Structure 1
Amino acid sequence: MISRRTALFVVGGSVGAAATGCSTQAPDPTPAPTTPSPTPTPTADTRPRAPLTGMLITDPAKLDHAAVALKVSDVRHSHPQVGLNDADIVFVEPNGIAYTRLCAVFHSRIPEQAGPVRSIRPVDVPLLSPMKPVLGDTGAADWVMNYVAANSKNIENLYYMKVRGTGSYSIMPGRATEDGVLCHPKTLLKQAKRMKAPPAELYLPFATGDDQVSTEVSGTPATKIVVPWGPGKSFNMSYTYDPKTKRYLRSEPWGKHVLIDGKRVNTDNVLVVRAKWKMDKIFRGGGAKDPVVDIIKGKGTFYYFNQGKVVKGTWTKAQTTDLFVFTLDDGTPLKMAPGRTFFELPQINAKVKISS
């Protein structure tokens, strides 16, 4: 096609040629500009997934209920524990200078019983608020209970004394009461008056659609993980990768982490989030100081482990109800493999040991 400007030039040249009696060759036409093809936009993966594991589900109606978070004692004399292998996420939290307390969250699978159940820690509020769960526990210091109550729009606290007589809790035979309270999550769910809906979104950045799991893209070997909790090496949690099951097997300071049914505690993912914490009080009310983990408007570093490999980066979290944001050292967002996750929260300067 000849543009308007070229056409005028050709006409003018033809007139001049006629006047002089000479022939002139017309210039080559200017090619029309080409429009680059747009880059295809990846199709969003809208298939239903379990919000706490990222696993695909065939019947969303089966998960149309709130998550149940249970506080689980983790001192040696509280073992063996019950039900942890059914949890979608297990948070490992500081419980003093050299001890830990667990917060096991159940949604994809609701066991008949789990425990032993103990008291709340302040960090449970920002950890659990994004998923709006029912919380099972035996209470807490007055100021911690007040703090949880102030966040009741995000967490429904159905502690032992509140629902006593409903069958939501029982005492394990042969155990001291403080280490023998079991929760029956299915019954506890029935007592909920406000928290009825499942978590509204994926809690962790699971790979979906065309996403590649970060450890598959840039991971380095990591078959043994040691997470220090106490001073020196006095209270280490560890994980060993099992290539047969493609899962990490967990150990506690005294040996293999084995449940009351004789099965080893295992997980698909290990996420170590190093965060600053100290003994403190952050709300009105009586009671002693508790470990307060600084994750609201916080930041730090993390390690993510899956199938014998590790990647690392930085984490941030804004407000209480906001999710964690994980960014790899190369600036790309973390993408986790769907599955169950142990989420360790050691001190911000914890020297995590990784072996290949």
Structure 2
Amino acid sequence: MQRKTRGRISLLLAGILLLTTVFSACGSEETPTDTSGEPTSGAISGMTTLPDGSGTLSEIPIGVTTGTTAATEPPVRPSGIHFLTGLPVADESLNSARPVAVVFNNLRIALPQHGIGAADLVFEVEAEGGITRLVAVYSDIAAVGTIGSVRSARPVMINIAMGLDCVFVHSGGSPQAYSDLSAYSVTDIDGLYDGGAVFYRDSGRANSMGYEHALMTTGSRLSSKLDKLAAQGTRVSLDSGYAVPFAFNEADTAPTGGSAAAKVTTKYGSYQPFFRYDEASGNYQRYQYGAKHIDNNTGEQLSFKNVVVLSVKSSVIKGDAAGRRQFSDVGSGSGLYATDGVSVPIKWSKASAAAPLKLTYEDGTELKLNPGKTFLSYVNGMENATVGN
């Protein structure tokens, strides 16, 4: 029923789009700042918005194209080492289970977040006008407590999840996002359709932050949902042809020939989160909105062994009053990799929307991450990233 409803919505909106060349939006989360830039070659993920009937917003789609890059041999997935972190894994079943990707609200008013610190990977992408959302990827969702708040999907977020063969968790999304979910047969858990069995509204957050910032879930609820999906025949194990996205060093190894990177800053308009290297732990600690980025489940600051910043060109969709962005996230580009207080320039490539993200050094040799958690930032050009002391 969910897919049929989504399909009818997509067909109806596709007809509307044939009659107009103007995209409009209403009810944005914040008044956006136009930070448009021209996209580079490659596939473009785009969106704008309309009311979804739930009291929040979903987005109306525009077309998406495809692009390709040269194929490379995937890293080998070794036994006993988790493919998302390069760390030892006691339960080998976690090495065959599909990860779970959750879209997190990252507005200042929606802080603190819950469960973000338990993620193995965290991606940050701009939604509009310097407002970002986070895609948190978990290898062991059952071990996570409260999770949220959960927000709506964008095509670029779906592409991230598909590249990792994730089960994708969100609440609402653009009709283009729903079209992509259907076209690619993405396994998703949607707050607009799965209701109280998986999601709930936190009354305290709803009263203090607003209804749209209060949608929560838990690791146990999501785990139970996965069990039900498996019983219905949905695949919850990694695909047999799964290409491991990242390679890892066997032990902590500082890059050679790099630049000092005690601090890494990314820029999304006036919002400029940063990472500060902590020599005692050997990790980068994250800050945003002028304060430590805290997981409210633990009270601890987010900390990452690896920080990856990727130049993924994006631009404001023409005619979108809310300033929502389209991304050239299929193709290739430049970036940087920071670990152990040192950064080196790198390159990224993604052969298709569903293909894994590949990272290499500038000379094309495979990048090996240090074992540990990784934060990946998509910025609109490397001029929006700085490293130094």
TM-score (norm 1): 0.77
Match of 1:159 among 190, 206, 214: 190
- CA shift, 1:146, in A, is 1.8
Question: 2:334 maps to what in 1?
Answer: 301
Distance 1:45 1:149 in 2: 29
Question: 1:143 maps to what in 2?
Answer: 176
Conserved 8 A contact 2:379-2:385: no
Mapping 1:213-252, distance limit 5 Å? 213=253, 215-230=254-269, 234-252=270-288
Question: 2:167 maps to what in 1?
Answer: 134
Distance 1:108 1:312 in 2: 31
Conserved 8 A contact 2:158-2:168: no
Instruction: Identify if the C-alpha distance between structure 1 residues 307 and 181 changes in structure 2 by more than 3 Å, giving closer, same or farther.
Output: same
Structure number with higher relative contact order (C-alpha < 8 Å, ≥ 6 residues apart)? 2
Distance 2:263 2:372 in 1: 19
Match of 1:319 among 352, 361, 364: 352
Amino acid at match of 2:120: D
Conserved 8 A contact 1:269-1:306: yes
Q: Does residue 172 of the first structure (1) align with residue 211 of the second (2)?
A: no
Amino acid at match of 1:218: G
Distance 2:306 2:125 in 1: 17
Distance 1:148 1:92 in 2: 20
Distance 1:186 1:63 in 2: 19
Q: Secondary structure at the match of 1:187?
A: helix
Question: 1:203 maps to what in 2?
Answer: 245
Question: 1:279 maps to what in 2?
Answer: 316
What number of residue pairs does the alignment pair up?
299
Instruction: Identify if the C-alpha distance between structure 1 residues 321 and 244 changes in structure 2 by more than 3 Å, giving closer, same or farther.
Output: same
Q: Secondary structure at the match of 1:148?
A: helix
Distance 1:289 1:144 in 2: 17
- The runs of 5 or more residues in structure 1 that have no matched partner are 1-43, 282-286
Instruction: Identify if the C-alpha distance between structure 1 residues 347 and 219 changes in structure 2 by more than 3 Å, giving closer, same or farther.
Output: same
Distance 1:306 1:108 in 2: 24
Conserved 8 A contact 2:246-2:359: no
Distance 1:180 1:132 in 2: 27
- The structure that has the greater radius of gyration is 1
Which sits farther off after the overlay, 193-202 or 135-144? 193-202
Q: Does residue 188 of the first structure (1) align with residue 227 of the second (2)?
A: no
Match of 1:336 among 369, 373, 384: 369
Question: 2:26 maps to what in 1?
Answer: none
Amino acid at match of 1:170: Y
Distance 1:229 1:289 in 2: 13
Greater fraction strand: 2
Distance 1:280 1:108 in 2: 36
Mapping 1:252-263, distance limit 5 Å? 252-260=288-296, 261-263=298-300
Conserved 8 A contact 1:137-1:158: yes
Q: Secondary structure at the match of 2:162?
A: helix
Deviation string 1:13-33 (CA, Å, 9 cap, x unpaired) is xxxxxxxxxxxxxxxxxxxxx
Distance 2:86 2:244 in 1: 7
Deviation string 1:188-236 (CA, Å, 9 cap, x unpaired) is 233242231147343223224xx884x4333332111111111xxx110
Report the RMSD for the aligned CA atoms in angstroms.
Answer: 2.5
Conserved 8 A contact 2:79-2:92: no
Question: 2:148 maps to what in 1?
Answer: 115
